[in-house]
Structure 1
Amino acid sequence: MAGRLCGRRAVLAETPAPPPQAIPVSEAATSRDRRTDRGQGPLRRKIIADLARVKYALCMNNTPHQSRLRIGRHSIAGQVYHVTIATRGRIAFFADLRNARTTVLTLRAASDLGDAETLAYVLMPEHLHWLMTLGPHRPLHRVVHAFKSVSAHRVGQPVWQRSFHDHALRSDEDCVAAARYIIANPVRRGLVERVGDYPHWDAVWI
């Protein structure tokens, strides 16, 4: 399956150096983004525990809402998905730094639990783009629901729209192109002049 090849090692192997048309990236900004994890160990462990509890609850309680989310969706372990989740009412919850960093920690906790390997993401003020390889244990709709539930709990209020959009990628070329598109969102929106100037993003080959 092509999706299985589009993981961390494949991306690194296919992109040994940024191509001529690649988006410029500031090492300082990327380092600043990752430094926010320092000193966050206790919070991250709490978030992981929250995700584990939500995952268990979802297994025990299949709600009608969850059934609706599954309509037309086929989850494949090892498949790469581009998931887009918008905030309710398109409210810019993540213009607040604390909300944004807590949500990013929740995203990374999903990788710690083996639910998904994050290849790239950008957290915009009112939506999230998440490029990930689905793990072997949970279907996509449950992984996304658990992330939304825990991140909203940590922010302290309802944050997300009920629905989400997902697109299954089918080749390494699609994967790398999608990641470049994702991390360029703040530039296209005019929030920053360079990708590296925006704090809430990451990609595996950087």
Structure 2
Amino acid sequence: MSDYRRRYLPGGCYFFTVVTYGRRPLFGRPEPVELLREAMRDVKRRRPFEIQAMVVLPDHLHTVWQLPEGDADFSRRWRDIKHDVSVRADAPVNRRGEKEVWQRRFWEHAIRNEEDWRRHIDYVHYNPVKHGLARAAGDWPYSSFRRAVAEGWYPPEWGGIEPGDLRDWDLE
């Protein structure tokens, strides 16, 4: 058994990777992506947080969240999101009676500073290109990239070539 300890920082900013069960391409169609969006909106209403960047790929997602001041409970939010999607998703059921939608855990990284934040934001937005799903970041429909362009974070053509700060960087 692992003795991994999560780092809970009230008001913290975090990068997350969440993977589907057995890396099944659950989010390869618009309908399941919309289920995920609905679940996230519902959880955000009950337990607020800000999504600063997000990308949904067929078998996993990456996101950067900012939690409210004084609140560090990202685990509860993920538990609720995963539960809400699982209840609504059309997925096989295992011998325990659980829907096979998500891997049991998720990976998180507490963002340390602005450079670390920028690198993780770039990683999120470049991920569909890295996986061969899009030719440029703006081509992938399930990403916050276009919002980031509107905010002035990127030029529209960004992400056709791997950013230098992401070479040899793998957070899958």
TM-score in terms of structure 1 length: 0.61
Select which of 66, 72, 84 maps to 2:5.
Answer: 72
Q: Give the number of the structure with larger relative contact order, counting CA–CA contacts within 8 Å between residues 6 or more apart.
A: 1
Does residue 101 (structure 1) correspond to residue 30 (structure 2)? The answer is no
Q: Which amino acid aligns with 2:117?
A: C
Does residue 197 (structure 1) correspond to residue 134 (structure 2)? The answer is no
After TM superposition, list the pairs within 5 Å mapping 1:75-154 onto structure 2: 75-135=8-68, 136-137=70-71, 139-154=73-88
Q: Is the 8 A contact 1:85 1:129 kept in 2?
A: yes
Q: Report deviation, 1:138.
A: 5.9
Q: Distance in 1 between matches of 2:14 and 2:119?
A: 13
Q: Report deviation, 1:148.
A: 0.7
DSSP 3-state at the match of 2:144: strand
Q: Percent identity?
A: 28
Q: Which amino acid aligns with 2:121?
A: A
Deviations 1:3-46 (A, max 9, x none): xxxxxxxxxxxxxxxxxxxxxxxxxxxxxxxxxxxxxxxxxxxx
Select which of 105, 127, 133 maps to 1:163.
Answer: 105
Q: Distance in 2 between matches of 1:194 and 1:105?
A: 26
Q: Is the 8 A contact 2:11 2:71 kept in 1?
A: no
Q: CA RMSD in A?
A: 2.2
Which stretch of structure 1 is more off in the superposition, 105-114 or 187-196? 105-114
Uncovered stretches (5+) of structure 1, i.e. residues with no partner: 1-67
Q: Which amino acid aligns with 1:191?
A: L
TM-score in terms of structure 2 length: 0.72
Q: Is the 8 A contact 1:115 1:138 kept in 2?
A: no
Q: Is the 8 A contact 1:110 1:147 kept in 2?
A: yes
Q: Which amino acid aligns with 1:146?
A: D
Q: Cα distance 1:109–1:183, how it changes in 2: closer, same or farther (>3 A)? A: farther
Tell me which stretches of 4 or more aligned residues in structure 1 moved more than 4 Å.
Answer: 68-71
Q: Report deviation, 1:69.
A: 9.9
Partner of 1:178: 120
| Number of residue pairs the alignment of both structures matches | 139
Q: Distance in 2 between matches of 1:153 and 1:191?
A: 28
